[in-house]
Amino acid sequence: MKRKPLRIGLVGTGFMGRAHSNAYRKVGNFFDLPYEPVLQAVCARNAENVAAFAAKWGYASTESDWRKLVARSDVDAIDICTPNDTHKDIAIAAAQAGKIVLCEKPLARDAREGAAMVAAVERAKVPNIVWYNYRRVPAVTLAKQLIDEGKLGKVFHYRAVFLQDWTIAASLPQGGAGLWRLDVNAAGSGVTGDLLAHCIDTALWLNGGIASVSAMTETFVKQRMHNLTGKVEPVGIDDACAFLARFGNGSLGIFESTRYARGHKALYTFEINGEHASIAWDLHDLHRLSFFDHRDESKLRGWRSIHVTDGDHPYMGKWWVPGLQIGYEHSFVHQVADFLDGLGKGVAVGPTFAEAQRTQVVCDTVLESARTKAWREVAGA
C-alpha cells in the first residue's frame, strides 16, 4: 500500500513526548497503514533541550513557540504532550488552524476547559484523539471483546485501583518540569485527573456510563516548596482519592488511587464480576488476562491466566510469534495504528475529545462529591 505522509508537529519533550515519538517511529514497521507519520517538527521552550530531543528522535526541525508550530503549513497534525494547563489553548489554536489534534490525557484540567476543546475540534471538523493508552494493551482490548461477546453476562461489580508511592517525601517540591503534577494550577487535580482518569476511561469503555459517585480525597502533605516561586505554598491537589460509583447498567464500582501506597510504582488493576464470569487485569503483568468462567466443568473450574500473545489476540498478529510478549510502549503504537487506519477510512477513532470529555465530567463530579461530602449525579450520564 502506498502511504501518504502525515507530518507530525509534537509539542513537549518529556516522558510522553518520548512515548509518542517512539510510537510514530515504529508503527509503519509493524502495521500496514494508509499513512506514514513523518517527524516534521518538535517544539519546546528550551532551545538546547529541543535540539537534543530532535536529534535523538529524528525530528526534521524545531520550534520554541507552539504558536509558530501551529501556524506552519508543512505540519498536518499537532500532538500535545505538555502539562495539562496548556492543552486547551494549543488544541483550540490547532483546530482553528485546521490541524488534526492528538492530545495527551487527561483532555484538560477540568470539564469546562474540556468542553471548549470539544467545541473547537467539532466546529473545525478536524480528526482528534486523546491518548488513553491502556485501552490498547492487548489484554485490555481482549477484555473488551469478551465483555462485548457477552461472556460475563450481567455485570455486578467493577473494581479498579491505580497506586503509586513517589510523592510521600514531604521534602519533594511542587511545580516545574517533572513535578508539575503536584501543582494544581498546572495539573488541575492530583490523582483524580492523572491516575483515576485512566481507570475511568477504561471503565466507561468496558462497562458503560457512570451515573453517580460518592468520593473522598485527602492531601497528606499540605504545603510544599514551589519550584517556580521558590516559596513554600499550599498544595492544591488530591494526593489520594477513593470513590464509589453506580454504573448506568446497574453495576457497582469501587475506584481508588493514591501516590502514598509504599511499594507500588504503577499498580493499575481492575476486576469485573459478571453473572457467568469474571475478568481481572494487572498493569505489572500487562500481557496476562485472568478469566474465570462458572460454566466450565466444575472439576476443572478455576482462574485461567491467559497469556495474551497469540496471533488471534488483539494486535498480536502484527508483532513477533505466539508466546513472545510486548509491553507498555506498544499500547501507544497501537493507538497510532488505529488512528491512522481510521484516518484512511474517514472514521473517528476513540477516545475522541468528546469521549474523553465524559471522563473529565466524571473526574469533576468525583472532586465535587469529595468537596461536598455527598453523592453526586454525573451530568449527562
Interface residues with ligand SOE (CB under 6 A) are 164, 194, 198, 266
**Least spacing, CB of residue 194 vs ligand SOE, in Å:** 5
In terms of CB distance, is 117 or 197 closer to ligand SOE? 197
Q: Which is nearer to ligand SOE, 97 or 102 (CB)?
A: 102
Angle at 120 between CA 38 and CA 206, to 5 degrees: 75
Closest to 59 in 3D by CA, of 93, 100, 24: 24
CA-based nearest residue to 137, from 334, 322, 366: 334
Burial environment of residue 52 by CB neighbours within 10 A (0 to 12, 13 to 18, 19 or more): middle
Return the number of the residue (17 or 274) whose C-beta is nearest ligand SOE: 17
Q: How far is the CB of 302 from ligand SOE (least distance, A)?
A: 31
DSSP labels for 155-205?
EEEEEEEEE--TT--TT--BSSTTTGGG-HHHHSSSHIIIIIHHHHHHHHH
Q: Extract the C-alpha cell encoding 220.
A: 497528606
Residue at shortest CB range from ligand SOE: 194
Which long-range CB contacts under 8 A does 183-188 form with residues at least 24 apart? 183/226, 183/228, 183/236, 183/237, 184/235, 184/236, 184/237, 185/85, 185/236, 186/83, 186/84, 186/85, 187/83, 187/84, 187/85, 187/109, 187/237, 188/84, 188/85, 188/106, 188/108, 188/109, 188/110, 188/113
267-274/252-258 β-pairing: unpaired
Give the nearest distance from C-beta 252 to ligand SOE in angstroms. Answer: 25
Nearer to ligand SOE, 21 or 164 (CB): 164
For ligand SOE, the closer CB: 195 or 277: 195
CB-nearer residue toward ligand SOE: 187 or 354: 187
Cα(112)–Cα(109) distance, rounded to whole angstroms? Answer: 8
Residue in 346, 349, 344 with CA at minimum distance from that of residue 334: 349
Q: Smaller CB distance to ligand SOE: residue 76 or 201?
A: 201
Query: What torsion, rounded to 10 degrees, do the Cα atoms 212, 253, 155, 284 define?
Result: 140
Q: Shortest gap between Cβ of 48 and ligand SOE (angstroms)?
A: 24
CB closer to ligand SOE, 76 vs 194 = 194
Least Cβ distance, residue 81 to ligand SOE (angstroms): 11
Task: Give min distance, CB of 255 to ligand SOE, in A.
Answer: 15
Give me the amino acid identity at 371. Answer: R
Give least dist CB 274 to ligand SOE, A: 27
Give least dist CB 268 to ligand SOE, A.
8
Cβ atoms < 10 Å from Cβ of 341 = 16
Which C-beta is closer to ligand SOE: that of 113 or that of 194?
194
CB of 123 to ligand SOE, least distance (A): 28
Task: Return the number of the residue (76 or 238) whose C-beta is nearest ligand SOE.
Answer: 238
What is the side-by-side order of every strand in the sheet holding 267-274?
304-307, 288-293, 277-282, 267-274, 155-163, 252-258, 240-247, 210-218, 376-377
Least separation, in Å, of the C-beta of 181 and ligand SOE? 6
Q: What's the CA gap between 28 and 1, in Å, rounded? A: 11
